[in-house]
Structure 1
Amino acid sequence: MNRILLVDDHAVLRAGLRLLLDSQPDLQVIGEAEDVQTALNQARTLQPDLILLDLSLTGGSGLSAIPAFQKAAPRARILVLTMHDDEGYVRQALATGAHGYVLKRAADTELIAAIRAVLRGELYIHPALTRQLLEGILPQPPSVSPWESLSDREREVLLLVARGYTAAEIANQLSLSPKTVETYRTRGMEKLGLRSRAALVQYALDHHLLTAN
């Protein structure tokens, strides 16, 4: 039987959590507290296997108290259960000794899975927050300029337009129909945010796109 200490300043939530956890054959709530000092005292006395810890508590921050909980109950695993879905809180909680981080909006089944994972010695992070953390770690693709976002054909048509060729001349040069040329021109201009040929010519000059043939 895994013994759990509930630490949350909302009595209704604690009551709901107790009912949920006590309904599991392998979990038992052995104590609950609404403030940091009471929770620390219970942790020392009860020596739970897991502390389910909210970050916002009466009389103090659960986040800053994590090291104290580690000292009070060295064998206890600490699973943060909070409404804060910011990756900064996740990083700080894990850095100070928490073993998992789950959001209060999680389904009952997810919370039970998180508790069991942490009790097995695993690290658990709510899936949405995992994505946030990975986005902060993984290299981001290089930014693409508007001109580079155009297709090869769109760039080809726009450069010819900027050089003064008519749609018929471009169509003949590229073996396209005038209507197809107009489609490429319109689509390319929209992607660049340009509204006239004069604006296109200026854009091409500013970006050194017009070179001598």
Structure 2
Amino acid sequence: MTGNDMDVDFRNRIYNRALEEQNSNLWNFKRYYTAASFWSAVDVGTDAYMALAGAVITYGLAWRTVPVWIMATLSLSVAAISIFKGNRKPGKRAEKIHTLGRNYQKLYDEIQDFIELDLKDDDREKEWIRNRFDKLASERHDLKAEATLSGIWYRWLKWRRGDEIYEEAATTDKERDLLDPEGFEQEDSEGEDES
């Protein structure tokens, strides 16, 4: 095996690992955005419900046309929602989760740039490529340690969107063209094999 063949083999291994990292980041930022949208809807929905319930209670107290049991039920539901919002803080949770999703998306884009601009650049040294890849992988592990979502968001996203998510990226052989249509090929190594 020549030095050039070893370099191509090294780059292919890094390329495959980078695709796996990119695929993981794709699923993560989609999950985080889905969860952030859910918690944002919960926050807005509960605010709207509490405003409507408050209006009905006020109207009922002012005009005495709403039955007492309805006003009591609305009052208890507003109290329960207030306790829930005080405990779960859906607005803050949505912001935090959205920020994490944005960080995963940024890392996804950085890995895409690494593949397109650095890994395919023959002038980049192996040590530099390895260090850059390790740094990107370390960033993902740091993000994973920062906060986690339950697997329900992954399962829901997989159920809801299925393989549609791979329109943006993939790591299987069939779907690699969607991620990187050119692939990672070295013309020099093919030409040397024929000689």
For the aligned pair, the TM-score class normalised by the smaller chain equals under 0.3
Name the structure with the higher strand share: 1
Q: TM-score, normalised by structure 1?
A: 0.25
Q: Which has the larger radius of gyration?
A: 1
Q: TM-score, normalised by structure 2?
A: 0.27
Name the structure with the higher helix share: 2
